[in-house]
Amino acid sequence: MGEQVRATLRGLLHVRPAPGAHRVALRAGISVLVPLLAVLAAGRPGWSVYAVFGAFTSLYGRNHVHLSRAAMQASAGAALTATVVLGVLVGALPSRAWVAVPVAAAVAALGAVLAAAQDWHPPGPLFLVFAFGAVASAPHAVSDVPVAAALAGASALFSLLVGNVGSVLRRQRSRPARLAHVWTWQPVRCALAVVVAGGVATAVGIGHPYWAMVAAVAPLSAAGVTAQLVRAAHRILGTLLGLLTSAVLLALALSPYAVVLVVAVLQIVTELLVGRNYGLALLFITPMALLMGQLAVARPAGQLLYDRGVETVIGGIVGGAIVLCEPWLRARLAAGPHDDGPT
């Protein structure tokens, strides 16, 4: 245990090289900027929540060759669009807060399977859980489905085009998806993390339970126990420090167009840092997420900061606990219900 603690502490401060991050960052910034400017120009800032999650397509296949990236982004974009539509349908229900928890767990489990089957990078269902939770947390009508599907799909398609513009200039081979190890513990872990974190946050009555869900599922896609514990700690510490920057930006009362420009810059900086140190990236992810939320539906800044901090701590603790308890749970299940040890 002592060595595990030391390894985790070392991982908190480790900064890895991230070759090619500037190209990824530029693609991500453009993919977010243009759809958000379009919804503002249309006079519908409330639609930004649909557009921005489609734009998250650009985050997949960071340094993959073009044809491989295109296939990965196509599957991720389709999944993100479907998740946004599902969020609208749940958001149309009168009891959406509690319905969202098990549905988000199902999204996490299915997303984990799809991510493994399609060999997504970044791996795991984090962005699907984020997209569903954010959309489902706001009230909607079923009549919003066509708009949500069109905007999310159009943003995903635009991101796909931006991410693969160089494919006409170079020939690369496609990499087949890796189907091995799809049906593993990962779907179970992700669903459990979402149910526990989302259930606690919803029961306590905090305003954004999906932040707890996202924080809980975030560590689970890292490779190895140490990396997962580091990711959980980064999620908590990076978010809490990022709230300071968020408070300053929220206090400026920026115009919608200024918010979009700041969000695009924060997205670029995030992609420059996320491969190097996740905790550092969260200093910019946190204000970016809060500003995007304010663009769609304005809320009191103080309550927003409080919710983000508390729910991230809840989710990070849940995710870390699942990582630590998994070996024990596996051993218990492997032993069987009638194995009481030596007699």
Q: For residue 173, is it within any domain?
A: no
Q: For residue 161, is it within any domain?
A: yes
How many other CB atoms are there within 10 angstroms of residue 117's CB atom? Answer: 16
- What's the CA gap between 58 and 161, in Å, rounded? 9
Q: For residue 14, is it within any domain?
A: no
- Could you tell me the two tokens for 6? 């030391």
Which residue type does 118 have?
Q
Eight-state DSSP code of residue 206: -
Q: For residue 177, is it within any domain?
A: no
- Structure pTM? 0.90
| Burial call 167-204: b when 16+ CB within 10 Å, e when fewer | eeeeeeeeeebeeeebeebbbbbbbbbbbbbbbbbbee
Q: For residue 271, is it within any domain?
A: yes
Q: For residue 2, is it within any domain?
A: no
Domain count of the chain? Answer: 1
- What's the CA gap between 182 and 113, in Å, rounded? 6
Q: For residue 188, is it within any domain?
A: yes
Q: For residue 261, is it within any domain?
A: yes
- What's the CA gap between 127 and 133, in Å, rounded? 10
Interacting residues of 249 by C-beta distance below 8 A, sequence separation 6+: 262, 287, 290, 291
- What's the CA gap between 291 and 263, in Å, rounded? 7
Q: What is the pLDDT along the chain (343 residues), one digit of tens a residue?
A: 666 666 666 766 677 776 677 888 999 999 999 999 999 999 999 999 999 999 999 999 876 655 688 889 999 999 999 999 999 999 999 989 999 999 999 999 999 999 998 889 899 999 999 999 999 999 999 999 999 999 999 999 999 999 887 554 444 444 544 544 455 789 999 999 999 999 999 999 988 999 999 999 999 988 888 899 999 999 999 999 999 999 999 999 899 999 999 999 999 999 999 988 999 999 999 999 999 988 888 888 999 999 999 999 999 999 999 999 888 777 776 665 555 444 3
Cα 211 to Cα 62, 217, 338, 342, distances in angstroms? 24, 10, 39, 45
- Give the structural domain span for 126: 19-167+183-335
Cβ neighbourhood burial of 237 (10 Å; 0-12, 13-18, 19+): middle
